[in-house]
Structure 1
Amino acid sequence: MFDLGNMPGHLIRRYHQAAVAIFHREVAQFGYDLTPVQFAALDRVQESPGIDQITLAGLIAYDRTTITGVVDRLVQKGWLERSISVRDRRARVLHLTDEGKQVLTVIRPAVKKAQRVMLHGLSEVEADQFVRLLKKATERVNELSRAPLKPET
């Protein structure tokens, strides 16, 4: 019999469930229905206007085949515009709409608060150590993921 309470995978899954619930609760207080992945996509598009969907998927460590659904929902909400790349007609490039920029401006405080709430039970030193170790562990298994993080080059 396994001791689930000491298995990293089980604990990470439970923590992820809580993190997503916290994110939704904080963002909903501002009247928005937005997922953590949608936020990450909007944030990266704002950082790199004109980014193509495949590069976006790599930057947020999201599966290339399902990024289209994320982008579709953000386009439907009126927060992203998608157009054909002038450099590669097969690629779709993304830009934030004015409404998308406004959404990011409004919800950033909620996202910051959600991050603090996620670390609520830890001291500042413990929270810093937890994030540092989580980053280290995640970086070490990045290439084993079906959607590895791929920094923009």
Structure 2
Amino acid sequence: MSDLEHLPGHLIRRLQQISVSLFTARMGEAGLDLTSVQFAALMTLRDHPGLDQKTLAGLIAYDRVTIAGVIDRLEQKGLVERQTSPTDRRARVLTLTEDGRSMLVRAAPWVDLVQEDILSALSSEERAGFTALLGKMTTEGNELSRAPLRPSPVTD
């Protein structure tokens, strides 16, 4: 059996814990009540206004059932609105509010700091290589996920 500290899966899980901890700490420092998943949802809605929950979940590779709670919390905070779809009265579409846009502007520099925090132990060359490898691994393993990333059907 391999040493736990040399198993990629264990190290990835630990890095995820560290990433979430750093994000939470930086948002607390900024005085912002925002999780990394909420930030991803807000960014995606900024870039693709009028998405439904299912499409949003696919674009941020998040579980369709759990995204409902994320959207509920964003709506309670006044950052997102749900409206009846103009093309399907049964569907609800999501848009950012002005407060949601403002939150993104306030959070952005802090999110940049989180990225620096995460990569701080690496040289700039190592950072580029590490990020490229992470991208390759997540792209190649996408369909193995419980919540695979789904490209946007939305045309810009």
Coarse TM-score class (shorter-chain normalised): over 0.9
Tell me the CA shift for residue 89 of structure 1.
2.6
1:3-152 matches, cutoff 5 A: 3-152=3-152
For residues 115 and 89 of structure 1, the distance between their equivalents in structure 2, rounded to whole angstroms, comes to: 40
Whichever residue aligns with residue 149 of structure 1, its letter is L
Bigger drift between 80-89 and 128-137 goes to 80-89
SS at match of 1:93: strand
- Give a deviation string over 1:91-139, Cα, whole Å, max 9, x none: 2211111111111111100001100110000000001100100110111
Whichever residue aligns with residue 33 of structure 1, its letter is D
For residues 52 and 13 of structure 1, the distance between their equivalents in structure 2, rounded to whole angstroms, comes to: 30
Tell me the CA shift for residue 25 of structure 1.
1.1
* Kept in 2: contact 1:45–1:95 (CA 8 A): yes
SS at match of 1:34: coil
* Kept in 2: contact 1:53–1:91 (CA 8 A): no
For residues 145 and 88 of structure 2, the distance between their equivalents in structure 1, rounded to whole angstroms, comes to: 28
Question: RMSD of the TM alignment (CA)?
Answer: 0.9
Whichever residue aligns with residue 134 of structure 2, its letter is L
Give TM-score scaled by structure 1 length.
0.97
Whichever residue aligns with residue 91 of structure 2, its letter is A
Aligned length: 153
Give TM-score scaled by structure 2 length.
0.95
SS at match of 1:29: helix
Whichever residue aligns with residue 143 of structure 1, its letter is E
For residues 32 and 5 of structure 1, the distance between their equivalents in structure 2, rounded to whole angstroms, comes to: 34
Give structure 1 regions of 4+ aligned residues with deviation exceeding 3 angstroms. Answer: none
For residues 139 and 131 of structure 1, the distance between their equivalents in structure 2, rounded to whole angstroms, comes to: 12
SS at match of 1:94: strand
Gaps of 5+ in 2: none
